[in-house]
Amino acid sequence: MTFRNLDFVIKRCEEHLDSANMRGTEIENYFVQYLLVRIWAEYEARITALLNRRCSRITDSHLKAFIRDAAKKSFRKFSIREIGDILDRFGSDYSKAFNDSAMKSTPQQMAPHIAWDNIYTNRNAVAHQAGAQMSLGDLKKNYAASLAVLDALVIALELRPAEMRAFK
């Protein structure tokens, strides 16, 4: 899964820090805090959109309205555990598929669930005025690895290629 707009903003922040020789400064920390909020906002919107895509297969308009309303009220937090709990409502096979995929790691990249939780924890720290505890380099590594969590969600929801076209 990709987010071209986020990739662009991260690159611009990095270019600015490098051109102004501001790595390791308070300015870098401000950029990281801003990016954490932006990344998390995009993730929340994407998760909601993916769940809505899966529910859009339902043809009964009243049932679809009920599910969308229930989803809006239920899906307020998106830690790995909470996403698994949401998927468990679809069926235990969905949560198992998600957890199996989101927990995978390779020697070349950190485990997606760890990266996801690092972004989640730091974003919450920013929201509650504690500040971020990562550099831009750390953020980039965590962001890249955390994208696999969204891929795991797509797999678990059994979304079809046509349902994913808008996200390319």
The residue whose two tokens read 């720290």 is 125
**Using CA atoms, how far apart are residues 103 and 116, in angstroms rounded to an integer?**
11
The predicted structure's pLDDT at residue 106: 76
The predicted structure's pLDDT at residue 74: 65
Return mean pLDDT, the chain.
Answer: 91
Residue 127 has pLDDT above 80, yes or no: yes
The predicted structure's pLDDT at residue 168: 65
The residue whose two tokens read 């730091």 is 122
**CA 20, 21, 22: angle at the middle one, nearest 5?**
90
Residue 24 has pLDDT above 90, yes or no: yes
Query: What share of the chain in percent tops pLDDT 70?
Result: 96
User: 1 and 145 in contact (C-beta within 8 Å)?
Assistant: no
Question: Which range (56-60, 140-144, 164-168) has the least confidence?
Answer: 164-168
The predicted structure's pLDDT at residue 90: 85
Long-range Cβ pairs for the range 128-132 (8 Å, 24+): 131/29, 131/33, 132/29, 132/32, 132/33, 132/36
pTM: 0.90
pLDDT digits (tens, 9 = 90+) for 63-77: 888 877 777 766 667
**Using CA atoms, how far apart are residues 102 and 95, in angstroms rounded to an integer?**
10
